[in-house]
Structure 1
Amino acid sequence: MRKIATVLAALCAALTLVLPAGGTAYGQAGPGRLAVRGADVSSLAKSEALGGVYRHANGRRGDALAILRDAGVTHIRLKVWVNPADGYNTKTQVLAVARRAKALGMGLLIDFHYSDSWADPGKQNKPAAWASLPFDQLRQAVYDHTFDVLGALKAQGTTAEMVQIGNELNGGLLWPDGRYDNWPGMAALLNAGYDAAKAVSSATKVVLHLADGADNGLYRWWFDNAAAHGIRYDVIGLSYYPYWHGTLEAFQANLNDVAARYAKPVLVAETAYPFTTGDDDGWTNIITSAEPYPGYPASTGGQSAMTRTIMDIVRAVPGGRGLGVFYWEATWTGVPGNGWDPADPSSGNGWENQALFGFDDRALPALRTLGTG
């Protein structure tokens, strides 16, 4: 009985962790459902500004966020860049999209890149405005930027439930000051972000997010070092793209191991899968294989099946520590001008065959799978 009570307590804590304030029906996990059934919609504001259209599965045109909500999506994820070339993914758009999402009863995960463009395992470039700052001023810039965005969200009544301090932190952030070979520097920068988030709202949960979600050696090395250097956080976030990051079995083993080893909830912050090998914007797709992962074709059925499998794996994490899944860039359809490079309006996105809306702008079956997971 004691063991059962412990498991139930952990599950309740996990659900409380991420429910939107005032929890609507869309924020409830329900029997066997994940508390977080989320979609990254960082590209949505620009898509809509450039004429992007979104439709329900039956073809009826609608608001993209409402379509997600109606399918059962509980949370959205929005990235934040400091001073991007195109002016998108800044505080201005985050505030506007957050208002819409919260009005629909959805929760919010804010993803700070601490860069003017993409931050990931291969690059963690400082924003141009921070490039020459001495370390103490760089740490203060992290605090001030984090506090500014999250404070503005709170002031308009849309406090974030979760926040990522950095994006895909395999090698650290804000290189070289917070690189993997300078753990004291990394710890100081990450803790500055943590402190800013908690100063705005002690209820906001801080996520530390790595890529390569099936690489247990990476996760043990990183989070062991995080513990040794006093890095503070609440949730372990993972990217898992099955065509890049290893087998589903290795992913499951890593999730289970890190949840137990560090006694933290785990969250898939990014995943996706193609519904076609076709192209809709004249820009070469990133994933072109007819079967990117064995047994899961690049089809609407394959996309839905892979989404279901990943959600099932998260749901099965022992102790109720599997919080949920965010599908990455669910609304990034082939809209001209809304490409990868914020400095180049002619670039395409290479991702439209992995969105949760088809080339006819209709919601795909995998959206329903995500929302009912």
Structure 2
Amino acid sequence: MRGILTALLLFAALLIAPPAQARQAATLAIRGADVSSLAKSEALGGVYRDANGTTGDALRILAQNGVNSIRLKVWVNPADGYNTKTQVLAVARRAKALGMSLLVDFHYSDSWADPGKQTKPAAWQSLPFDRLKQAVYDHTYDVLDALRRQGTTADLVQVGNEINGGLLWPDGANSTWPNTAALLNAGYDAVKAVSPSTRVVLHLADGGDNGLYRWWFDNAASHGIRYDVIGLSYYPYWHGTLETFQANINDVAARYGKPVLVAETAYPFTTGDADGWPNIITGAEPYPGYRATPQGQSAMLAKVADIVRAVPDGRGLGLYSWEATWTAVPGNGWDPADPSSGNAWENQALFGYDGRALPALAVLGSV
């Protein structure tokens, strides 16, 4: 009798508890899209459609597909006047009204900051170091406090963008780690002064390079750099195999005891061009086994999400598809100082050349 009762109890437990595979498939906390180019796209006539072809608000289409977070970059004084506090406030208001969370990405530059360039804003060029540090604090505080005062407090903040070599060169280059630390901690302090619950992200590129991440975050620890989340860029055609990416993201989560987040990822849905400006990624199969098709884009995004979901101890927060709304709109090119520049990224957006949402958008919202 006891054996029969035990068997019945086990059977009941199996009926109540989902199988391990189902538990593993829980959606990520952050299913995000970088929409930094959206404000300018809309101002210049960009059109967005849902999967059925119905024209609508891009953010609402994202939300209806399950995207629950947006990422917005901030430049200090860009030539075109976009990606400033003005647009961040406006887009954040719309996103928060749709129930989305917000990641604010400070570049601390008038244009793109990345591993190859971390150019100080023109207005900060001649500042002595103490005043440069204060400028970082003041600029960070100003944008974030404005967001808080309008009721759209940032949930996550990147203090710097892809800061493999530090920020605000040459002063904050990590050839001089104490300076790097002072500038990053100034940004951290500004974030926490506005909202102690907002999490600070430190973001590097080259998400498959474990040597880089160990070197960088070991130095961050030894120099007292404060942060809450480790952010990675992982573009599979640039940053190593899926296996090396998985090994690295698992290692840094365990080694530093921090949540991890893919701040940027993307994949092409076509080899075609929509604006006559050469695309960055043009190959028919940029990563082995994943073709530049809507199906290949969806499969790659799902695979990256699976890797983040599998980070041990639940430390994988989620991911952002980079510039998901950067479609080919005349005037909305890569160079804020040159209206004639084109978009080299439109074949990696989550909207097709007809403005219609691609299958990968629904995948992103369900990962």
TM-score under structure 2 length normalisation: 0.93
* 1:84 partnered with 2:87: no
Q: Which amino acid aligns with 1:258?
A: V
Tell whether 2:151 aligns with 1:168: no
| Corresponding position of 1:207 | 201
Match 2:135 to one of 122, 141, 145: 141
Are residues 137 and 311 of structure 1, via their aligned partners in 2, closer, same or farther at CA, if it must alter by over 3 Å?
Answer: same
Secondary structure of residue in 2 paired with 1:98: helix
d(CA) in 2 for partners of 1:246, 1:72: 29
Query: Is 1:283 equivalent to 2:269 in the alignment?
Result: no
Q: Say whether residues 1:323 and 2:338 are aligned partners.
A: no
**Is 1:178 the equivalent of 2:172?**
yes
Aligned to 1:224: 218
2:117 maps to a residue whose letter is: K
Task: Give 1:286's aligned amino acid.
Answer: I
In structure 1, the residue matched to 2:183 is 189
User: Which residue in the other structure is 2:8 paired with?
Assistant: none
Paired with 2:230 and 2:110, the residues of 1 have a C-alpha distance of: 24
SS in 1 for 2:341: coil
Unaligned 5+ segments in structure 1 are: 1-28
Q: Which residue matches 1:44? A: 38
Matched, 1:102 2:96: yes
For residue 363 of structure 1, what is the aligned residue in structure 2?
357
Q: Deviations over 1:182-225 (max 9, x none)?
A: 10000000000000000000000000000000000000000000
Residue 67 (structure 1) aligned with residue 61 (structure 2): yes
Among 101, 105, 108, the residue aligned to 1:114: 108
Q: Distance in 2 between matches of 1:339 and 1:290?
A: 24
Q: 1:140 to 1:30 in 2, by over 3 A?
A: farther
Please state if 1:300 is matched with 2:299.
no
1:362 counterpart letter in structure 2? R
> Match for 1:244 among 231, 235, 238?
238
CA deviations 1:14-38 (Å, max 9, x no partner) are: xxxxxxxxxxxxxxx9961100000
Match of 1:341 in 2: 335
**What's the counterpart of residue 55 of structure 1?**
49
Alignment-mate amino acid for residue 50 of structure 1: L
Distance 1:328 1:251 in 2: 17
Q: Are residues 154 and 317 of structure 1, via their aligned partners in 2, closer, same or farther at CA, if it must alter by over 3 Å? A: same
SS at 1:279 equivalent? coil
1:350 aligns with one of 340, 344, 348: 344
Equivalent position of 1:3 in the other structure: none
CA change 1:163–1:341 in 2 (3 A) is same
Q: Secondary structure at the match of 2:147?
A: helix
Q: Which runs of 5+ in 2 are unaligned?
A: 1-22
Paired with 1:274 and 1:353, the residues of 2 have a C-alpha distance of: 5
Read off the aligned partner of 2:38 and give its amino acid letter: L
What is the rounded CA distance, in whole Å, between the counterparts of 1:349 and 1:77 in structure 2?
Answer: 19
Structure 1 distance, partners of 2:244, 2:174, is 24
Partners of 1:252 and 1:116 lie apart in 2 by: 33
Q: State the 1:161 CA deviation.
A: 0.3
Q: Deviations over 1:72-95 (max 9, x none)?
A: 001000000000000000000000
Amino acid across the alignment from 2:34: D
Displacement, 1:349? 1.1
How many Å separate the matches in 1 of 2:239 and 2:44? 33
Deviations 1:228-274 (A, max 9, x none): 00000000000000000000000000000000000000000000000
Counterpart-to-counterpart distance in 1, 2:24 and 2:335: 40
Letter matched to residue 99 of structure 1: R
| Length-normalised TM-score, structure 1 | 0.92
Secondary structure of 1:189 counterpart: helix
Letter in 1 for 2:315: R
Task: Determine helix, strand or coil for the equivalent of 1:370.
Answer: helix
Residues 131-177 of structure 1, C-alpha deviation per residue, up to 9 Å, x if partnerless? 00000000000000000000000000000000000000100000011
The structure with the larger Rg is 2
Provide closer, same or farther for how the CA distance between residues 354 and 310 of structure 1 changes in structure 2, counting only shifts above 3 A. same
2:255 to 245, 250, 261: 261
Q: What is the aligned counterpart of 2:122 among 112, 125, 128?
A: 128
Tell me how far apart the structure 2 counterparts of residues 31 and 72 of structure 1 sit (CA, whole Å): 15
What is the match of residue 307 of structure 2? 313
State the alpha-carbon separation in 2 of the partners of residues 345 and 68 from structure 1: 27
Identity of paired residues, percent?
Answer: 80
Aligned residues: 345
| Inter-partner Cα distance in structure 2 for 1:252 and 1:199 | 35
